[in-house]
Each structure stands twice: as C-alpha cells, then as structure tokens.
C-alpha cells in the first residue's frame, strides 16, 4: 500500500441505533470541514468500510447487530486503524474498563454534553491525523529502503547490530573504505542527516 492510496480526508463514522449523536456531530463536522456518516449497525458500516480511510468511529455499545464491543475484534481482523469513541447510557466501571481494554480512545456516557462531544471529536481527529502521518512516514522510509543494494542492506543490518565500520569490514571481508562508501551511499538514499537518523528510520519502518 503506497502513500497515494491513503485517504487524507477524514470521515467521522457514527454507529448508533439513535441518530441524536449523529445530528450533533454532523453540525460539529461541518464547522471543521469533516464529513460525518451515520450507520444503524456495525454490519452496515463494514459493508462500506475502507481500511485506508482516515477519521474516527463513534459507537454505541448497544448498537444493533454484532454490538459495540464486537466492533473492535472485527476492526482488528480487517486492519481498520481508526480511533474509537465508545458511548453508552451505562456508566458502570466494568463497561468502561471493557471498552478501554478493547482499544477505545475515549468513553462517553449518554446523554453527551455538546462540549464533551466536541472535545472527544477533536481528540479522535488528532489521533487519526497523527496515525495517518506516521503511516505516510513509514511508507516513505520503506520506499527508500527498497532502493538500497543488497550490499548496503548488509551494512545497515550490521549497523543496527551495533557494529563499527571496522567490525563490519572484518565480518564482510571488505576494506573499511568500502564499508564507508556503502554507508555514505545509504545516507544519501535514505536522506539521513546522521547515523542516528539512519538507524531511527530503519527501526521505525519495522511493523
């Protein structure tokens, strides 16, 4: 999946049997330039769900169908990485703990105040934007790594293992100058400002 296939336009998905929260979020979304969509069940949402879409999900724990808690399992199974705000008229501690352990970003007890809802929306959109940018950065690094030669990748792997140029040269049966040349070429291809930057990119590109 390349960066060009990621959607930059966030969408707020509201999964609820009651459109009340959707109407409130739709008004807030307009002022933020964000589209808000309503689905009466988790099944309806997954019929149109796109794993590449950025945004967030507001779900009622009692949403018809598979139920709000079942949403997390299916999102994980289908590689949907959107922040989830759970809502429920139930405010018991057990429900909150269960939702948070399942991966919820926030928990709102209904009825939700306008300010509380707006704050949850802004937090979820920020979280989505951060994840979206992290994904783009990781894909860019992976594309740069793909330009490295087999020999350069060997040197990089050994650098990640903590070896010095001299130790790498000995292990690969190369001259120190040859290792330095591969390292210099790598730095250019990876657009790394320093060895630390090069290693940070390589480590951060891993799943």
Cis peptide before 14 (omega within 30 of 0): no
C-alpha 42/C-alpha 83 separation (Å) is: 15
- Pair 24, 90 in one domain: yes
At 178, which CATH number?
1.10.10.10
State the average pLDDT for the chain.
88
Using pLDDT thresholds of 50, 70 and 90, give the confidence band for residue 2. Answer: very low
- Pair 192, 113 in one domain: no
Whether residue 184 is contained in a domain is answered as yes
- Pair 23, 65 in one domain: yes
102-111: Cβ within 8 A, 24+ apart:
102/69, 102/72, 102/73, 103/72, 103/75, 103/76, 104/72, 105/56, 110/21, 110/60, 111/20
Whether residue 200 is contained in a domain is answered as yes
Q: What is the pLDDT of residues 85-107, one digit of tens each?
A: 999 887 667 777 888 888 899 99
- Pair 89, 181 in one domain: no
- Pair 14, 75 in one domain: yes
Q: Where would I find the H helices in 84-207?
A: 93-102, 114-145, 150-160, 165-172, 176-190, 195-204
Whether residue 141 is contained in a domain is answered as no
Q: What is the mean pLDDT of residues 148-176?
A: 94
Whether residue 14 is contained in a domain is answered as yes
Q: Which residue among 116, 136, 156 closes a domain?
A: 136
- Say if residue 5's pLDDT is above 70: no
Whether residue 49 is contained in a domain is answered as yes
Whether residue 74 is contained in a domain is answered as yes
Tokens 């998905």 identify what position? Answer: 13
> What is the pTM (predicted TM-score) of this model?
0.73
- Say if residue 207's pLDDT is above 80: no
At 12, which CATH number?
3.40.50.2300
- Pair 76, 153 in one domain: no
Q: Which residue among 105, 136, 167 closes a domain?
A: 136
* Domain region containing 117: 3-136
Using N-to-C axis directions, what is the helix angle for 68-77 and 93-102, rounded to 10°?
A: 10
Lowest mean pLDDT among 90-104, 125-139, 187-201: 90-104
Q: What is the pLDDT of residues 74-84, one digit of tens each?
A: 888 888 989 99
- Pair 70, 108 in one domain: yes
């Amino acid at each position: 999946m390349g960066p060009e296939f990621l959607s930059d336009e966030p969408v707020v998905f509201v999964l609820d049997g009651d459109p009340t929260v959707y109407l409130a979020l739709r008004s807030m979304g307009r002022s933020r330039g964000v589209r808000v969509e309503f689905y009466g069940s988790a099944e309806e949402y997954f019929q149109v769900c796109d794993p590449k879409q950025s945004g967030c999900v507001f779900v009622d724990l009692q949403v018809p169908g598979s139920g709000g808690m079942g949403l997390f399992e299916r999102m994980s199974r289908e590689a949907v990485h959107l922040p989830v705000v759970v809502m429920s008229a139930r405010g018991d501690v057990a429900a909150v703990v269960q939702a948070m352990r399942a991966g919820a970003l926030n928990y709102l007890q209904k009825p939700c105040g306008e300010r509380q809802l707006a704050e949850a929306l802004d937090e979820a959109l920020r979280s989505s934007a951060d994840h979206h940018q992290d994904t783009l950065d990781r894909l860019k690094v992976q594309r740069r790594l793909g330009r490295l030669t087999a020999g350069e990748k060997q040197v990089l792997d050994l650098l990640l293992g903590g070896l010095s140029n001299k130790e790498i040269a000995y292990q690969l049966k190369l001259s120190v100058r040859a290792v330095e040349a591969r390292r210099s070429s790598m730095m250019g291809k990876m657009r790394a400002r320093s060895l630390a930057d090069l290693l940070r990119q390589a480590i951060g590109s891993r799943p």
